[in-house]
């Protein structure tokens, strides 16, 4: 909101009080965007080091809760029944590679996928293990459930680092999260979802939305019903006239900064490209059907549109709706795992991930878009007495595609029970180092903490074995 402060403030240049109030009511462009933009200005001057990375952008699919490796990317058909479960293996289009049988579409596209089967955090708590996966830094202490953001666990997540170092290619922000943040049953918000010590200037924008809903829209990017784009332009002009009257404030430096934020907010809202990115009805019914009409599926489709519109990194979190069972929300399959995998979880993943691969490939974007499908951990080798599996950070699988990563390969292996790494151990810091490398950022690129100390963005090793 525009605030006109000071006693007896007078407006001249024939600007009426009503006009000024209209500017304020509009929030300076119909949004709260200037406040969102204000904290990010300082990061826009940083430059991305050239490193020869093939990827221009990245889509992260985060399967909140932790999918079972045994029923997805690392089936164990020779293991005892209490380990292998009811979901059998599926032969993929790559000889010798098997996935779980509930993923036929992804199995038919295994030649585009790189599976890491020996990922480990050594942490069995959602909050702290999730922090490790999202930032590449272990939480202090490990196994800390319902942990919240804050020192000493304030390392910026991957999106924040990208936001700080790689300017957006459009009016849209560099990094985006959708359709909601990640939280535990008690409502606690996981650490590792924000910019940490980099500050709000680098924080990935969070768009809370339900893109599968008939009335889907992003409130932050929607004009009030009575404000058309031409009226927006008129009010933007009015704001410029007001700013001219406040020249005496220029010595504080506030007004120049304020003007730049307002200009960016106006450009964003008025940009047809930015507005069109959120317009899912522009996609054909056939395309939307392929992604599945679930909140996750349509969020993945929205991520593809945002990448096309110039966003550098989009993190799609698995949608946690109000109807999720409290004893097994999302992928946290403590009870009745097989039923939930068959009816709720794997079909939307299989549809959305495979549709994303097809669309990126057909549009010539797969080589320059890195896709990473991961979670905070996996599940225990054996089923519990509630027909579910519990938390397991000792070994699990993640999958990558495109963006300079080789397809049709498996890196690393778990033991015969899918309990521990057998070879090719991968830590979260190696994953972040590899993501940054693919995006053209070397792991030793430096950022500064709140005290001005220089720190490298990742302490991991790039997984060069999986690079094309």
185 vs 207: CA distance, rounded Å: 21
pLDDT digits (tens, 9 = 90+) for 338-369: 999 999 999 999 999 999 999 999 999 999 99
- Low-confidence residues of the chain, pLDDT below 50? 1-32, 34-36, 38-50, 225-226, 232, 239, 242, 246, 249-250, 254-255, 257-258, 260
β-strand 413-414 against 421-423: which pairing, if any? antiparallel
pLDDT digits (tens, 9 = 90+) for 205-236: 999 999 999 988 776 555 554 455 555 455 55
Strand partners for 396: 119
208 vs 318: CA distance, rounded Å: 12
CB 454 within 8 A of CB 119: no
CB 147 within 8 A of CB 131: yes
Rg of the chain in Å (alpha carbons): 24
CB 155 within 8 A of CB 143: no
Torsions phi, psi for 284 (to 5 deg): -70, 160
Q: Which residue has the tokens 């974007």?
A: 365
160 vs 198: CA distance, rounded Å: 8
The three-state DSSP-derived secondary structure of 306-326 is: HHHCCCCEEEEECCCCCCCCC
Torsions phi, psi for 176 (to 5 deg): -135, 145
Give the pLDDT confidence score for residue 43 in this predicted structure.
39
In Å, what is the CA distance from 68 to each residue of 82, 132, 239, 379, 392?
13, 19, 55, 5, 9
CB 183 within 8 A of CB 130: no
- Rounded to two decimals, the pTM is 0.84
CB 67 within 8 A of CB 375: yes
Query: CA-based diameter of the chain, in Å?
Result: 83
Strand partners for 89: 100
Give the pLDDT confidence score for residue 457 in this predicted structure.
98
């Amino acid at each position: 909101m525009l605030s006109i402060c000071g006693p007896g403030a007078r407006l001249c240049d024939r600007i009426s009080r009503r006009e000024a109030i209209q500017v304020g009511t509009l929030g300076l462009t119909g949004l709260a965007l200037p406040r969102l933009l204000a904290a990010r200005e300082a990061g826009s001057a940083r430059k991305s080091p050239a490193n020869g990375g093939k990827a221009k952008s990245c889509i992260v699919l985060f399967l909140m809760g932790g999918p079972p490796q045994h029923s997805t990317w690392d089936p164990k058909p020779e293991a005892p029944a209490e380990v292998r479960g009811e979901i059998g293996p599926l032969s993929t289009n790559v000889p010798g590679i098997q996935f779980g049988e509930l993923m036929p579409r992804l199995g038919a596209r295994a030649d585009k996928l790189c599976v890491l089967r020996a990922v480990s955090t050594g942490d069995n708590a959602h909050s702290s293990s999730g922090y490790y996966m999202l930032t590449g830094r272990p939480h202090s202490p490990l196994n800390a459930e319902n942990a919240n953001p804050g020192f000493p666990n304030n390392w910026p997540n991957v999106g924040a680092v990208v936001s700080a170092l790689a300017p957006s290619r459009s009016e849209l922000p560099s990094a985006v999260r959708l359709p909601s943040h990640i939280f535990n049953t008690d409502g606690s918000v996981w650490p590792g979802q924000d910019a940490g010590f980099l500050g709000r200037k680098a924080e990935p924008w969070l768009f809370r939305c339900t893109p599968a809903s008939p009335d889907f829209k992003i409130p932050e990017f929607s004009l009030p019903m009575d404000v058309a784009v031409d009226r927006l332009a008129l009010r933007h002009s009015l704001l410029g006239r007001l700013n001219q009257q406040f020249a005496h404030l220029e010595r504080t430096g506030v007004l120049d900064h304020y003007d730049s934020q307002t200009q960016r907010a106006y450009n964003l809202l008025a940009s047809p490209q930015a507005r069109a990115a959120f317009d899912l009805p522009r996609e054909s019914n056939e395309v939307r059907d392929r992604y599945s009409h679930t909140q996750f599926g349509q969020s993945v489709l929205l991520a593809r549109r945002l990448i096309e519109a110039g966003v550098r990194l989009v993190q799609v979190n698995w949608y946690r709706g109000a109807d999720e069972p409290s004893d097994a929300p999302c992928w946290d399959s403590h009870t009745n795992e097989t039923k939930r995998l068959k009816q709720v979880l794997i079909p939307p993943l299989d549809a959305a991930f495979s549709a994303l691969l097809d669309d990126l490939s057909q549009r010539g974007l797969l080589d320059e878009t890195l896709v990473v499908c991961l979670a905070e951990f996996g599940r225990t080798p054996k089923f519990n007495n509630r027909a579910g599996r519990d938390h397991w950070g000792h070994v699990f699988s993640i999958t990558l595609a495109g963006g300079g990563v080789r397809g049709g390969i498996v890196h690393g292996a778990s033991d015969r029970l899918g309990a521990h790494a057998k070879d090719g151990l991968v830590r979260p810091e190696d994953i972040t180092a590899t993501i940054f490398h693919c995006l053209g950022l070397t792991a030793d690129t430096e950022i500064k903490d709140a005290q001005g100390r220089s720190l490298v963005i990742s302490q991991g090793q790039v997984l060069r074995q999986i690079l094309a």
